[in-house]
Amino acid sequence: MRKRPFSILLLLPLLFGLISCAKAQTITTGAEQMDKYLSLLEGKRVGILANPTSIVGDRHLVDTLIQRGIQIKKAFGPEHGFRGNASAGIKVGDEIDEATGIKIISLYGKKRKPSEEDLKDLDIMIFDIQDVGCRFYTYINVLRDVMEACAEHKKPMLILDRPNPNGYIIDGPILDMRLKSGIGQFPIPMTHGMTIGEFAQMINGEGWLPGGMKTDITIIPVQNYHHDMHYELPVKPSPNLNTPQSILLYPTLCLFEGTIISQGRGTLTPFTILGAPLLKGKYDFQFTPKSIKGMAETPLHQDQACYGLDLREFDTAHFRKTGRIQIEWMIELYKAYPAKDKFFDRSQSKQMGNIDYLAGVYEFRKQIESGATAEEIRASWEPGLSQYKEMRKKYLLYP
């Protein structure tokens, strides 16, 4: 009996089904869903807090909105500036945007939140910035400051939500509010597992604005996003988070800013490598930090060979599997460092932060110095971490 050829027609329903499924699962950021929020902006005088991550396709959101006839009255720039051309920690001044002629008011210079004067000629404020899910990353503090200003001066706020690339990591000690600072403003763990939109709801819901004020917020959620999924940012969120690997390693490696260990600032692969000159002979891998304009002008251990860990090939799926930051590297490098009294000595460099403020608790440094294990350190984060996870559920927009 002659065999009949397998018809491709039998495959078409399956192929179309797969294509439809893939399309249905495409992540669509809040900014990309213009049909849901343009009506809120039409005829209004609009302010916007934005930076280079505020994109729609391959264009800046501001450029896109202006093309759509929206009146952008002024823009506000956070750390690194509106166009992202300032290094970490460098104060930014007010300026006029060359591309649009719009006045840009810096919130990382003389002031940290919009003034009454800044807001008086606005009808609504847009917040659209990509976050990376860490307590010590700058943008949740900016969010709170802008929310406070809008609440004080009765201005509604439109939040265009974006995925959290580290949304599956909820870990670290809860901030001891005695250590409240510019790198820790809220009683949350080091990695909070929320998007900007969800975090805004938490700020309102937990009464974290002065006097229990609440901001009138409208959130445009991300479509087809859940916290456990892998999401690769289409644009770097800041100059030193310039690769997908650096973004996923950042929650762990930023802690080393409170130590004598370089995180690779002053190289083209920051936050993917760790090392210091005194680790020579302990590790074979080496790198030499250099001054790089726009990234790190005066990096720690500038022009000195550093020896340590190369994490550029580290399987970051580990974080998704465990939901934990990798404090084991801190333990390892402290044990390897020959001058232990200098490991946490922030007087060694103006670039170094204070480990107590970064960790958010006084105990972490003492635990590392005493030789505590990773599991013993993590056990000390309870019950606060579990209580936070339960509280967080009230504000989630995504599974």
User: Is residue 354's pLDDT more than 70?
Assistant: yes
Placement of tokens 């103006």 in the chain: 350
Task: Give the number of residues written for the chain.
Answer: 399
List C-alpha distances in Å: 297 to 90, 121, 240. 10, 38, 12
d(CA 22, CA 19): 5
Between 354 and 374, name the one with better pLDDT. Answer: 374
Tell me how far apart the alpha carbons of residues 78 and 156 are, in angstroms, rounded to a whole number: 19
Taking a C-beta distance cutoff of 8 angstroms, is the pair 54, 24 a contact? no
pTM for the predicted model, two decimal places: 0.89
Q: What pLDDT score was predicted for residue 90?
A: 57
CA atoms within 13 A on the CB side of 156: 11
Backbone angles phi, psi at 51, to 5 degrees: -155, -170
Q: 41-97: per-residue pLDDT in tens? A: 999 999 999 999 999 999 999 999 999 999 999 999 887 667 655 555 555 667 788
Query: Distance (Å, rounded) from C-alpha 201 to C-alpha 137?
Result: 18
Q: Residue 109 — pLDDT band, cuts 50, 70, 90?
A: confident
Closest CA to 206 of 188, 221, 189: 188
8-22, 45-59, 287-301, 310-324: segment of lowest average pLDDT: 8-22
At 81 the pLDDT is 64
For residue 151, is pLDDT > 70? yes
pLDDT of 351 above 60? no
Domains and CATH numbers, the chain: 34-220 (3.40.50.12170), 244-361 (3.90.1150)
Q: pLDDT averaged over the chain?
A: 90
Indicate if the pLDDT at residue 143 is higher than 60.
Answer: yes
pLDDT digits (tens, 9 = 90+) for 355-388: 999 999 999 999 999 999 999 999 999 999 999 9
H or E stretch covering 126: strand 124-128
pLDDT for 2 equals: 43
Per-residue pLDDT reduced to its tens digit, 209-239: 999 999 999 999 999 999 999 999 999 999 9
Cis peptide before 383 (omega within 30 of 0): yes
pLDDT digits (tens, 9 = 90+) for 2-53: 444 434 434 433 443 433 333 347 999 999 999 999 999 999 999 999 999 9
Token output for 121: 């000629």
How would residue 347 be classed by pLDDT, with cut points 50, 70 and 90? low
pLDDT value of residue 24: 42
Query: Residue 167's closest CA among 197, 124, 134?
Result: 134
pLDDT digits 0-9 by tens, 256-279: 999 999 999 999 999 999 999 999
